[in-house]
Amino acid sequence: MNEKEKTIIVDVARIFGDNRETIIQKWLSLLLNEKLVRGEEELDYFKKGFEKLVDDFIAYLSAGDFDSYFKSNLELSTMLASYDIEYSKFIKVFHLFEDSYSDLIHKSVDKELIINYMSAIDRLHHETIGIVSETYFEIKDATVFALAKLVEYRDNTTGFHLERTRDYSVILAKELGCRDEFLKHLYKVGPLHDIGKVGIRDRILLKEGPLTEDEYEEMKKHTVIGAQAIDNIIKHRNMRKCYLKMGKEIALHHHEKYDGSGYPYGLAGENIPLSARIFALADAYDAITSKRPYKDAVPHDEAVSRIVCDSGTHFDPVIVKAFLNAAPEFANISSKYNDKAHEQ
């Protein structure tokens, strides 16, 4: 915001301070009319959150303390995530905030200045929404990762499997020249690849010896179970364009093979989503180089040789080429997390 806009906001904060109760009551009335709340508990939550927003606006911005105001926005986003308020609902409720003071601004400000005032307030709100959005989703992402970690603990997998495969897959995507948005989504959802293992019975999931044919068939179902779980979230939240769709792709298809011999659907070549083709190699490298109850860890160089041998059968040859370029980075990551495991 420029200095002229900041001066306007200081004046708006004064107007808010003189009309605090009017703004809050108008907002509550709009909220009830729109029927956006579910019961008294959620209404009480929104009332507390809105009062905090208005009070912070008045307290900090009337003194021109924009840094403290934006810091308070971070606290608001933490409240949103902690109470599990849907993000789309927050946006709708926030826009009702704008409606709650619009008439007041028009009455309190000279007509020739209205456009400047509303523009300055709009700029401030955009910064608030940006701060709240980023923090809200960071908290949600951390929760998703924690849930994925629970599966790793149950699976008795070597520690840091999720962290390693996440880092490996992002390195491959960078080497392939994927866009920043693709990289960010891959980093967030990669840890969900085996979330479907929550639906596999312990006697199969935790078995130390080789699986029977029937047991292996059940184990393969974790791909479909995981994809269905993520898809239910997408549909329940009515998400049309979100990073969880990549999570669904990876969960469902990371055991497909380039030659069509994988599962669950036997997809081949570029019919397998790029995210899943990338993650398939990252996951395989980690499985090869990690110690398991039924096998010893394999050295990096041998893992590279095995992956090269499977180029065009298990793995996309283009991704194998990217892997060879980035192989030293893979070795460094593997070593880094092994050191962390020994420290625990």
pLDDT of res. 270? 96
pLDDT of residue 255: 97
Instruction: Report the largest interatomic distance among the alpha carbons of the chain, rounded to a whole angstrom.
Output: 80
> What is the band of 52 on the pLDDT scale with cuts at 50, 70, 90?
confident
Q: Within a 10 A sphere around the Cβ of 327, how many other Cβ atoms?
A: 18
Residue 341 one-letter amino acid: A
From the number of C-beta atoms within 10 Å of its C-beta (0-12, 13-18, 19+), residue 97 rates as buried
Question: What are the C-alpha distances in Å from 58 to residues 3, 61, 68, 88, 306?
Answer: 18, 6, 12, 26, 64
CA distance 142 to 138: 6
Contacts with 236 (C-beta within 8 Å, 6 or more apart), sequence order: none
Alpha-carbon span 274 to 253, nearest angstrom: 10
pLDDT score, position 140: 64
Render 33-93 in DSSP notation, one character per residue. Answer: HHT---HHHHHHHHHHHHHHHHHHIIIIITTT-HHHHHHHHHHHHHHHHHTT--HHHHHHH
Termini Cα distance of the chain: 47
**Structural domains in the chain plus CATH codes:** 3-137 (1.10.490.10), 157-343 (1.10.3210.10)
Strand partners, 292: 295
Asked whether residue 168 carries a pLDDT value surpassing 70, the answer given is yes
Three-class SS of residue 156?
coil
Residues 305-339 pLDDT 10s: 999 999 999 999 999 999 999 999 999 998 888 75
Q: Please report, to the nearest 10 degrees, the dihedral formed by the alpha carbons of residues 107, 111, 115, 118 taken in order.
A: -10
Average pLDDT over residues 180-187: 91
Each residue of 15-49: pLDDT tens digit?
999 999 999 999 888 888 888 777 787 788 778 88
- Residue 285 pLDDT exceeds 90: yes
- Higher-confidence position of 168 and 159: 168
Alpha helices in the chain (DSSP H): 3-18, 20-34, 39-56, 66-82, 87-108, 114-155, 161-175, 180-189, 202-205, 213-220, 222-236, 244-253, 274-289, 300-309, 317-343
Amino acid 216 reads Y
pTM above 0.85, yes or no: no
Indicate if the pLDDT at residue 150 is higher than 70.
no
In this prediction, what percent of the chain has a pLDDT beyond 90? 48
* Across 120-134, 212-226, 231-245, 247-261, least confident range: 231-245
pLDDT band at 263 (very low <50, low <70, confident <90, very high): very high
Q: Which pLDDT band, with edges at 50, 70 and 90, does 136 fall under?
A: low
